Chain A
Amino acid sequence: MSAAGSIRLDNVTLGYERRPAVHHLTGVVEAGAALAICGPNGAGKSTLLKGLAGLLAPIGGRIVWDGFSPRDIAYLPQSAEIDHAFPIDVLDFVSMGAMRRIGLFGRIGGEERARIATAIASVGLEGFEDRQIGTLSGGQMQRALFARLLVEDSPIILLDEPFGAIDAKTIDDLVTIMAGWREERRTVIAILHELDLARRAFPQALLLAREPVFWGPTREALSDSRLAEANRMVEAFNRDAEDCRRDETPHAA
């Protein structure tokens, strides 16, 4: 595992076609941090994660990956973005994680094979190697995705709603794996709707409602008052919005 660095956000605005989904966010994600990102629907959480992963360029401010490239980041998208009908079995799917190391054309040698087998076992999918991913249940698919992440062996892991719509047993198993990552001093950032899980497993939290509401220790971030504040955010875009001038110095009259 290569060394992780920090991710710094300088007054970052992320969005689509000039509409900000994340508005003026500043902060640092330290190496080895475990950060939960929470907030109401439409708060810009997925957008922020994409920005952190280097998939979306900011429309204001900048993101600095200190000491590493965003390519080294392992990113777990929401499950809907994967083509489940594709004819690939679990083993091949999990093996994809190795491509980062061996390249697109490399062979999967003995060491990689062992790593893949361990990953599959860790998530409890032994015996599922030959199953087509289209036949997996939601929980099984999520396990397979985690197995791929394990194989990737990345120092920074970003997860977008990893526990959506899966059974409690799977959630417990996956939380255990995430705890293991923390022990290995990997940086873990996860978007979570399950607030009790956030309180349980993540020391830091960012409460986002397009603008940052609070970024700091989880207990404070997810306090009732803060949560109420976040919920007051308007979801729809302001149709009559003008150019944002917050960053400019005020003109002398």
Chain B
Amino acid sequence: MDLSRETRAACPRPHTLVSRRALLGALALLVAAQFPSAQFPSALAAEKAPPPRLPVVASFSILGDLVRTVGGSRVDVAAIVGPDGDAHVYQPTPQDGRRLAAARLVFVNGLGFEGWIDRLVAASKTKARIVIASRAVTPRTDGEGVDPHAWQDVANVKIYVANIRDALVDADPEGAELYKSNAARYLHDLGGLDAEIVAAIGGIPQARRRVVSTHDAFGYFSARYGVEFIAPQGVSTDAEASARDLARIVDAVRAHRVGAVFLENIVDPRFARRIAAETGAKVGGTLYSDALSAPDGPAPTYLRLMRHNVKQLTEALAP
């Protein structure tokens, strides 16, 4: 039996948010540290307290990574759906409610990605501001409705980053400098990534830019970078397959001579393997769509996730 290679590390690092008391205490120390440092340079250097961290929550790991990058050392980010988690079917726990209650900002993807977030927000009675990262992103629709996976297009992520930066600046004006410079640097990196991807896909012959993937999460990627994704299952991960749909995919793979079949990191991989076996297509590596990998995996940050996916695609589709 084929083993899925995902071996879990220990439980995800607990992101304990700072309690209100600790926050006050830290603030007090910060105020104290404003005393003329010239008088007691060495002592102050030893006593200088770390700046207070803004407690924020992101709904899932990819978003968490973006927020962490922009927020830097001034924010303490916890992601509700962790690495390799499936946000579509996630069941919130009481701990999530507590995290929400303690947070100042809550970043969500929006576009219907987190079906459970409204109830969780209401239940936690949090006073945090809810920030929709995908605001101002032009959404795609497909057969199932609005496709939420906007982050698969790097250009959209630039919009996400801008929204995140603005929200952070608004919540924590003192950190504005830091946020703006972090965001600027990240936007630059994203620009580079975008160009990289365009070039990489450009290197694949037009006729071969077609793959089958188990999760219909790459609509934005497909639209932007010109690779066609055919999926056996719908956008939701628990739609069950019919024989007719599977037959159509097999037909499509055969007819279009699709070169590769890809497994996604959270759905039953047996479908993709079956299609690959039946059509002679190659089974590509794992594509990460809805979540980062574990820290020791190939996609622990958004940048590495996109680079990993593109590498898998180009390798599998190389003539």
A–B direct touch, CB within 8 Å, in complex? Answer: no
B interface residues (Cβ-Cβ under 8 A, vs A): none
